[in-house]
Amino acid sequence: QKEVEQDPGPLSVPEGAIVSLNCTYSNSAFQYFMWYRQYSRKGPELLMYTYSSGNKEDGRFTAQVDKSSKYISLFIRDSQPSDSATYLCASNTNAGKSTFGDGTTLTVKP
């Protein structure tokens, strides 16, 4: 079993929709939870970063971590065509070396 499992997608939504991207993890030692965004033919870039459980909001993006259920979510409000990308969740312990999910490809249609 992979340590980080991500809903595979692909996901296609109309512009303005609320998007929910989800991952689960199995390693109880994970404390840091990240979401990376990767545009086509580019390297991933960090979008959101959360330590332990709770919510973090940044504009239209909200990252949510529930350590009791080992569940990681990213919500995108008022989705835009420019949000079309692959989203990768990642987790790690205090000792570095992130473990990545396989990614979910999102398309937002105008």
Partner 1 sequence: NAGVTQTPKFQVLKTGQSMTLQCAQDMNHNSMYWYRQDPGMGLRLIYYSASEGTTDKGEVPNGYNVSRLNKREFSLRLESAAPSQTSVYFCASIETDSYNEQFFGPGTRLTVL
SS3 for 82?
helix
User: Between 17 and 61, whose beta carbon lies closer to partner 1?
Assistant: 61
Rounded to whole angstroms, how far apart are CA atoms 47 and 37?
6
- Letters for 44-83 (x = contact with partner 1 by CB under 8 A, - = none) are xxx--x----------------------------------
Q: Is 106 in the site for partner 1 (CB under 8 A)?
A: no
Pick the stretch among 40-48, 52-60, 66-74, 76-84 that binds partner 1 (CB under 8 A).
40-48
Q: Angle CA(80)–CA(41)–CA(101) in degrees, nearest 5?
A: 75
Of positions 6, 64, 73, 79, contacts partner 1 by CB under 8 A: 6
Q: Cβ of residue 104: shortest distance to partner 1, in angstroms?
A: 10
Q: How far is CA 9 from the centre of its chain?
A: 12
Identify which of 92, 108, 81, 107 has the alpha carbon closest to the alpha carbon of residue 27.
Answer: 92
